[in-house]
Amino acid sequence: MSTEKLAAFFKEGSLFSNLSAEELTQLAQIARERRFDRNQILFYEGDLGGSLYIIVSGTVKIVIMSDDGREHILGLLHSGDFFGEISLIDGEPRSATAIALDKVSVVMLSRDDFVRLLRENPEMPLKIMVTLCERLRKTDKHVESLAFLSAPGRIAQVLLNWAEAENQQPDAEVTIPHKMTRQEFASIAGTSRETLTRVLMDFQDEGLLTLEKNKIHLHQRARLREKVV
Ligand code: CMP
């Protein structure tokens, strides 16, 4: 991407919007671009953190993994989102693994450049804190659902979240985001693939939804909401 295009991309995003045109150009000149294919690992949990990542296009899933290779998705990040800040700020290893969910293009800033930007731009630490707070709130909600909801309740909740993100129609077709596999869907709902399949079939038998390829047609959102227990 040209320096001008990259500077314009930085200007659009909330993190760097307060920088002057000159600072944005400088930032675009020092940032490194990298591309990743679907399923490629950007970094592993436990790696030493070297850079801040900003997503230009595509989706990155942030996961933690069990010793036997099962993954739990902590979050999905999209164009304009940044990640990799935690280990740069606290100097500890990466707190989670980052994997490309589809074709992903990122720009990377070295730790030194990131720290210099934080020092020189007093509003930037606050913006990062706001994002960290949003992520903490989301994670708290997720922990709440893992702690208190049944597996069907968690699956219903994920479907309702996707439906709400897509549209406000009461009777909605929900596209499973990013051609996500059943395993990834199950991981977001904090359940196994087998349980997910069984619960979706039960919901279908009850007339709450129809399963289609990469799509789930929700028929009765109000009744699905009753399953969130
Ligand atoms: P870092 O620890 O450097 O590397 C992993 C990154 O994943 C971390 O920085 C954050 O940017 C990001 N991350 C960690 N936990 C979450 C979460 N719960 N939701 C979204 N992003 C996260």
Question: Strand pairing of 82-83 and 71-77?
Answer: unpaired
Q: How many CB atoms lie within 10 A of CB 91?
A: 10
Cβ 75 under 6 angstroms from ligand 1: yes
* 58 and 23 within one domain: yes
Closest CA to 77 of 51, 112, 42: 42
Inter-helix orientation angle 3-12/21-30, to 10°: 120
Q: Using the mean position of ligand 1's atoms as its centre, give its distance from the Cα of residue 47 in Å.
A: 13
How far is it, in rounded angstroms, from Cα 55 to Cα 198? 35
Express each pLDDT in 32-75 by its tens digit: 999 999 999 999 999 998 999 999 999 999 999 988 888 889 99
What is the pLDDT of the chain when averaged over all its residues? 91
Contact of 93 with 48, CB cutoff 8 Å: yes
Length of the chain: 229
Find the CATH number of the domain harbouring 191.
1.10.10.10
Q: Kindly tell me if the per-residue pLDDT of 123 is higher than 90.
A: no
Burial class of residue 170 (count of CB atoms within 10 Å of its CB; 0-12, 13-18, 19+): exposed
Among 144, 172, 188, which residue terminates a domain? 144
> Ligand 1: which of 64, 95, 142 to mutate, most ligand atoms within 8 Å of CB?
95
How far is it, in rounded angstroms, from Cα 6 to Cα 98? 22
* 62 and 159 within one domain: no
Among 129, 144, 159, which residue terminates a domain? 144
Share of the chain above pLDDT 70, in %: 98
Find all residues with CB under 8 Å of 139, minimum gap 6, and list them.
74, 75
160 — phi, psi (to 5°)?
-65, -40
Domain housing 19 = 3-144
* 204 and 173 within one domain: yes
Q: Kindly tell me if the per-residue pLDDT of 171 is higher than 80.
A: no
| Per-residue pLDDT band at 168 (split at 50, 70, 90) | low
Contact of 62 with 53, CB cutoff 8 Å: no
Q: Kindly tell me if the per-residue pLDDT of 137 is higher than 90.
A: yes
> Ligand 1: which of 62, 64, 97, 146 to mutate, most ligand atoms within 8 Å of CB?
62
Q: Kindly tell me if the per-residue pLDDT of 170 is higher than 70.
A: no
Residue 26, CA distances (Å) to 113, 115, 117 in order: 11, 15, 11
Express each pLDDT in 75-115 by its tens digit: 999 999 999 999 999 999 999 999 999 999 999 999 999 99
* DSSP reduced 3-state for 133: helix
Find the CATH number of the domain harbouring 65.
2.60.120.10
Q: Which amino acid is at 162?
A: W
Cβ 186 under 6 angstroms from ligand 1: no
* 18 and 102 within one domain: yes
The gap from C-alpha 164 to its chain's centroid, in whole angstroms, comes to: 16
41-43 β-sheet, strand order: 41-43, 97-100, 60-65, 71-77
The mean pLDDT of 15-29, rounded to a whole number, is: 88
Atom 12 of ligand 1 has which residue's CA nearest to it? 83
pLDDT at 91: 93
Q: Kindly tell me if the per-residue pLDDT of 144 is higher than 70.
A: yes
- pTM for the model stands at 0.87
Say how many domains are in the chain: 2
